[in-house]
Structure 1
């Protein structure tokens, strides 16, 4: 290479280094600028959100339009319908088929044939080539009318499709809708067909209405916070769980948006995590849901039902969000407003249909009248000599003029052309009387349509009533409306973890397996701990937690527990006086250390007991010999003390040093009997004063429950109890109070009377015969009940007068298994319970005669403290002695 060429190459490289490309920022312009906004608008308007006018998304509207195109009364293959819909819908066949299956599963617009899947089990539908469909009679009745439909070109301009279908029914609320778009979503829950019609009628009448969702999967729902379907609302839905026997539960209805598969998976997951304890689960679902849950022996069915609601998909929460498309933009409205707009739209459509019908009838009347004039007056003969078409029109027009004064509008050239098209055969067979009858019938129809237009609201109400009568059968409400009680998770969780304590070192936890076992617990529990120095702490269950040395008491903590009372004697500082106090711990801040003494150095607890039912024992106190002390031993009765807050100083016991304290006498409860109420709205017991008072209950008291199928049982009144829907008696059980009953023996086909006592409170008793046709007529738990017998009238004989039955005189108290005495040999039509005879009930020991102390309010410090989680009942220790 020459030197010249070499220099040129070097110069070229140098110039390349000097002109390196700089980073350039280019603004996005043109179509790129609007692409995302266009995409978002398309998804919102054309895919995810339904229109308020007809309640349909575009794909649903196009499917229904295609089905109408293809409708000939017979079933069509779904694959054929999907292919036809693709002329209107610019997306794949799979999305159309899925949308069609979803519409079909709502069982309102599509008449289905074949395997369309199962909303209960979640099974998918068969392939579209195997299943068939046609429009339902309801759809043909309320969805279509091409005369009032506004049309637009399809996406490729080859076809016409409806902008909105003229739906004359609140279809959106009946079917519900769910969709996720760009930046917004919608979730409109399905409502009951009959209730929607009733609400529409009320709106037309100017009355107020309320509509609540109704789910195809049935179940139980609490709509307290439904908020009219607006944003921020919430619906709680539960499965319907009942008890088959003491070891078996059955789920017959599931929450909306779940399937038997997902529900069973959630139950198994909760079991694996130790939240519930089950032996096995069986899915026997076919046409109806049946999931059997088998429990191990010793597991409470009532508590397991609550645990299923707390930890599995047996209870779910649904957040509705009413978003619809109106005037080509999204609008957030409640379901009541949706129904009002739908009803108003139906009213407008009915008016438009009546107006079109009136125009058509008037046109028919007009031409029928012209035809009669044309034939009756032989005007057709006037055109025999005319050679031109214009002459024919003119001749007919001239011939009509003398006879058309009664017509409602002027005769047009089009009318005359139609007259010329009448065939000779029709003219020759023309019957004037029949023609007049036709005209009069049209006049009657016109008058009726005009009447409907003048009374449009009444016409619309009659229209809705017809829909209810024609299509409402079998569409009764499926979801039971109920108010739910709040389930405290810590009360129902299975305690599958063991809690241990190292008292000396001050550690508590589930991993200290070499140390002292305390109790079973769960990972969501709180535990309460006391140390000998007079410290109190509540903390979450964990593997290992340091509390403080010399732990004297550990238990699972129950928030707001006023019945667990702690009895305490402590020395206030080293060498100080000793004090005694009784208190409950209802709420504190977690992981905060509280001082039960007065905070002086050297303070210690001399005596401690935890009493789950407010027991107050008697202790003997021994003093050390010092100086001139004369009385070295005395007794202290805790029942003499009032229950106060944990922060109080307490009453002085002695200013001298205590040598030891011994338990002299076990305590009895000093708390008042608990008042228990039954709240019928939630079907649960409570101590908060809600519902009907059942009575005051002490530790040994029980409830008496009698069901319609002749079962009597007694139960310990726990707040977790569930009661069946066929319960007819719920009251405090009094062992010596008889139960009186009249029942029908299905085998012997006659009525029997019996009176009995519950002999074994732990056993469930069936007190009617087990024949399938046996049933309980009346039952009473009064001491002296009276019944009225109404007899069946026998043809040809006088009516037998009613008789009164005194149960006490008729039959003595016998065993629960006794058959009883035959009621009568005559045919009984009806048995009515009358007012019982007066009876003075034996007095119970009143609450005032028991050692009772008033429970004082906690201190202001306690009121400000709060724990955030729930907890389990504290298992007490009594008489911990040091």
Structure 2
């Protein structure tokens, strides 16, 4: 052991007279270098792919072994694994697993047998049962031994490629994932065709953007992809559709999940009470089909949102683009990987062309020498030579007068090749054919030189050829779409019940002997008001103390601007009584707030919570104190401004209030709610995103018509999903007729009908049931105008276009009526023109907020100077 080397073990022995057998060993130096060597090995040789060919070493060795064994037929995977072990220093299990991963990507390997199922997670059969061969695509882009750099294998017995000459962004097409020592990589697979198109754009100097594409399909939001770098994120969802009101169907699943893990997550969410599912059927075979059966009276739209919120139907993927470049790990984005890969491919194409050019030039050189040698009968000059040196000199001397046009000097190897020409070849030599061969070689040389001079154009054509030959069936599978944010509290099933003990001041789900309040979920917040004017928001729990004499408990909705609280309270023990209206949109959980200024003795005389801003009329009774003459007056909350939660409110009375009674329930004082439709996420919203559908009151509905003629009206709920191709989506006006033009499949004629929606709660098919019937046009205008463009009949003059007032053409009939035939002529095109103005179609006047009628604080102090004026405050 070398004790002078600090990286080796240091041994220090105690003096013999004290401890003759005790040895102290220090091993810190060993760990310092050995761990670093191990980490470097794992990063470079096992976990992280190389930029040049997109392979990890094990995959590269598998592909080289398959090339060694390739004879066009399938080979047993066990045989390929065994052959790969000549290159790979690890066991057969790691090679077999890596090969299955390659085969499941269906790009480089043609597979035969049971290679597992990425949809269900089923494993592949044993390697002795399954077979593989190199795909045509791999043969085109992966191999070229002439431009491959070789190195010795781990045991020195064979040569293996340092990198395979892959002329395609294979790393991005297949993706890669690995965990090394101190770092990891997660490069997601991208679409084959889109990669080629992006590569061509890069070669043309244009900008490009690439996004992942997954073999499991699904729907993906790439707004935070960040080019695949650290910090980026993808949201991937299953594709869920509604088969009927009680059945949902999952046909596509998120990447990195399987039908098994997906179903397990749904069952777990159901057991926790976050969703309600009757039972689940898994009919997955070649394609995914998971049927989710719902109980009655459960909203399918809310359940779909809940599946995204609480199960693996939506997952988040964090990419981390790390690759090996120049024998070091680098973190670069997928766009930069594509640029570098494309530039590398151009270099390989150039090397390939240069090698071909050298080969063709050598062929041309020897073909020219051969022609000179035979045509000028130089072979006769060697008949009298007795030595080999003499033969070489004689041929060289005979060639000299004829070699002025050659591109390089004649070597001894050239002359030796001439001596190896057989007599039979010389006797059958055809000068014309020899010249044609030389000219063909000259054409090839000229073409290669042209390619080298126009290398970028050649590379673009190369990629276009790849797309043409191998792009069929590789279209994008994963749909790109912006996702709306799903609030868990809005879609979770109310799986528990909330109770309250008003007198003692407790709320919770465990107080089952006390007053029932509402159904709730375990992630809800609840809002509470007490008689002393305290307000508090807290999370649902088994039992929570709020404060004695609770007057109101409800599930709290954040950012709820439409729930208005109407309140009359005394501000402090001897303070005035105030009236106020306010909304609670945001609040700090578990913090106590006062409806007034927090003075001791504050008391609430009257309280109501109004989900749509309703404003009631109440009667206020005063106590008989002093010389008060009017002990009773009314307050109409519609005349009170809605202010902030911290507002003190208007003075209702300076005298003690005995009681307040409800006199008359009110209507909403809020404006109709404006609703927009955002096409990018297929959802309604009140945030002014997308197209404005209109202003909606509580009873208003949305009119929907699909391309296949299904009409319905729905109450606008922000949780509703609109995945069907709707051609009409607008605020429904019940008295406004609809006009539909459709092709009647049985009679093969265009028909027209005008109708009103008769049953707002029923879906209707507004065209005939014939399978060839199809909706052509639909109008919601009062007086639509139709233009008919006729097809020219053979041998007849072109019939001029017709313009038809459809209100005059047909009267309003029932929704089930077939309608009237439009024309017997052959129609080329139908166009809806500008409708005729409808004078009686008055626009709805916008409703002003009635709570802006009066501000009671105006001059209130002056009026309260005497008791008589105070009692008359609400008389006017």
Superposed pair shares fold, TM > 0.5: yes
- Alignment map for 1:174-323 (pairs within 5 Å): 174-323=173-322
Distance 1:271 1:253, change over 3 A: same
Q: Within 2, Cα distance between the matches of 1:848 and 1:767?
A: 34
User: Is 2:104 the partner of 1:105?
Assistant: yes
**What stretches of structure 1 of length at least 5 have no aligned partner?**
1-15, 857-882
| 2:146 counterpart residue number | 147
In 2, distance between residues paired with 1:34 and 1:17?
Answer: 33
CA contact (8 A) 2:694 2:731 kept: yes
- Are 1:121 and 2:120 matched, yes or no? yes
Q: Which residue of 1 aligns with 2:3?
A: none
Instruction: Report the counterpart of residue 433 of structure 1 in structure 2.
Output: 432
> Residue 128 of structure 2 aligns to a residue in which SS?
coil
Q: Give how far 1:242 is off.
A: 1.3
Q: Label 1:32 to 1:694 Cα distance change in 2 as closer, same or farther (>3 A).
A: closer
- The 5-angstrom pairing of residues 695-774 of structure 1 reads 695-774=694-773
Matched, 1:662 2:671: no
Question: How high is the TM-score relative to the length of structure 1?
Answer: 0.93
* TM-score normalized by the length of structure 2: 0.94
Task: Give matches, 1:257-406, under 5 Å.
Answer: 257-406=256-405
Q: Superposed, which structure 2 residues align to 1:15-164 within 5 Å?
A: 19=18, 25-28=24-27, 33-164=32-163
Unaligned runs of 5+ in 2: 1-14, 856-876
SS of match in other structure, 1:847? coil
1:878 corresponds in structure 2 to: none
CA distance in 2, matches of 1:230, 1:432: 64
Asked if 1 retains the 8 angstrom alpha-carbon contact of 2:784 and 2:836, the reply is: yes
Supply the distance in 1 between the matched residues of 2:198 and 2:219 (Cα, whole angstroms): 22
Superposition pairs of residues 512-591 of structure 1, within 5 angstroms:
512-591=511-590
Please give the alpha-carbon distance, in whole angstroms, between the structure 2 residues aligned to 1:349 and 1:699: 68
Distance 1:127 1:787, change over 3 A: farther
Match of 2:637 in 1: 638
Contact 1:643 / 1:854 at 8 angstroms: preserved in 2?
no
The Cα shift of 1:422 comes to: 0.2
Aligned residue for 1:873? none
| Secondary structure of the corresponding residue to residue 518 of structure 2 | strand
Report what 1:3 is aligned to: none
Farther-moved stretch of structure 1 (530-539 vs 656-665): 656-665
CA displacement 1:734-784 (0-9 Å, x = unmatched): 111112112223333332211211111111111122233222122221222
1:494, distance to aligned residue in structure 2 (A): 0.4
Output the CA distance in 1 between the equivalents of 2:700 and 2:813. 23
Residue 846 of structure 1: aligned partner: 845
How far apart are residue 341 of structure 1 and its match? Answer: 0.3
Structure 1 vs Structure 2 CA RMSD = 1.9
In 2, Cα distance between equivalents of 1:498 and 1:537: 19
Summarize the Cα distance change of 1:572–1:61 in structure 2 as closer, same or farther, 3 Å threshold.
Answer: same
Distance 1:738 1:844, change over 3 A: same
Deviations 1:521-547 (A, max 9, x none): 001100000000000000000000000
Distance 2:773 2:114 in 1: 41
Classify 1:569/1:25 alpha carbon distance in 2 versus 1 (closer, same or farther; 3 Å): farther
Which residue of 2 is the match for residue 479 of structure 1?
478
8 Å Cα contact 1:643-1:855 kept in structure 2: no
Provide closer, same or farther for how the CA distance between residues 320 and 854 of structure 1 changes in structure 2, counting only shifts above 3 A: farther
Counterparts of 1:845 and 1:630, CA distance in 2: 46
Structure 2 distance, partners of 1:483, 1:81, is: 44
Question: Match of 1:35, SS?
Answer: helix
Match of 2:866 in 1: none
- Which segment drifts farther, 261-270 or 544-553? 261-270
Residue by residue over 1:692-727, the C-alpha shift from the partner in whole angstroms, topping out at 9 and shown as x without a partner, is 111111111111111111111111111111002411
Q: Offset at 1:849? A: 5.2
Where 1:833 maps in the other structure, the secondary structure is: strand
How far, CA to CA, are the matches of 2:150 and 2:201 in structure 1?
Answer: 32
Is 1:685–2:647 an aligned residue pair? no
Alpha-carbon contact 1:644-1:855 (below 8 Å) kept: no
Q: Residues of 1 paired with 2:72 and 2:788: CA distance?
A: 58
Distance 1:419 1:347, change over 3 A: same
Cα drift, residue 474 of structure 1: 1.1
Does 2:818 match 1:819? Answer: yes
Q: Counterparts of 2:287 and 2:434 in 1: how far apart (Å)?
A: 60
**1:787 alignment partner in structure 2:** 786
TM-superposed deviation, 1:818: 1.5
CA distance in 2, matches of 1:671, 1:373: 103
Q: Which shifted more, 531-540 or 574-583? A: 574-583
Contact 1:251–1:292 (Cα < 8 Å) also in 2: yes
How many residues are treated as equivalent by the alignment? 841
**Which moved further from structure 2: 494-503 or 734-743?**
734-743
Aligned to 1:866: none
Asked if the contact 2:641–2:851 (Cα under 8 Å) also holds between the matched residues in 1, the reply is no
Kindly state the Cα deviation for residue 655 of structure 1 after the two structures are TM-superposed: 1.5
Distance 1:569 1:790 in 2: 69
Report how far residue 848 of structure 1 moved: 3.5
Report the CA distance shift for 1:783/1:146 in structure 2 as closer, same or farther (over 3 A): same
1:678 alignment partner, SS class: strand
Q: Map residues 450-489 of structure 1 onto 2, 5 A cutoff.
A: 450-489=449-488
Task: Tell whether the 8 Å contact from 1:347 to 1:457 is kept in structure 2 after alignment.
Answer: yes
- CA distance in 2: counterparts of 1:33 and 1:534, whole angstroms: 68
Distance (whole Å) between structure 1 residues aligned to residue 843 and residue 792 of structure 2: 47
Q: State whether residues 671 and 853 of structure 1, in contact with CA within 8 Å, keep that contact through their aligned partners in structure 2.
A: no
In structure 2, distance between residues paired with 1:103 and 1:28 = 42
Return closer, same or farther for 1:339/1:625 CA change in 2, 3 Å cut-off.
same
Q: Distance in 2 between matches of 1:794 and 1:852?
A: 68
Query: Partners in 1 of 2:99 and 2:839 — Cα distance?
Result: 70
SS in 1 for 2:162: strand
Structure 1: distance between partners of 2:31 and 2:618: 88
- In the other structure, the counterpart of 1:836 is 835
Report the secondary structure of 2:68's partner residue: helix
C-alpha displacement of 1:622? 1.2
Q: Distance in 2 between matches of 1:422 and 1:18?
A: 90
- Give, in whole Å, the separation in 1 of the partners of 2:461 and 2:853: 66
Q: Give the Å deviation of 1:364.
A: 0.3
Listed one character per residue, the Cα deviations across residues 46-91 of structure 1 (whole Å, up to 9, x for unaligned) are: 1111000000111111111111111111111111111111111122
Whether contact under 8 Å (2:639, 2:850) holds in the other structure is no
Instruction: Return the alpha-carbon distance in structure 1 between the equivalents of residues 552 and 305 of structure 2.
Output: 30
1:431-456 CA-partner distances (Å, limit 9, x unpaired): 00110011011001100000000000
CA distance in 2, matches of 1:314, 1:560: 27
Tell me the residue number matched to 2:5.
none
Deviations 1:603-622 (A, max 9, x none): 21000000011111100111
In structure 2, the CA distance between the partners of 1:29 and 1:514, relative to structure 1 (3 Å rule), is: closer
Cα distance change on mapping 1:643 and 1:783 into 2, 3 Å: same
Q: Which residue of 2 aligns with 1:10?
A: none
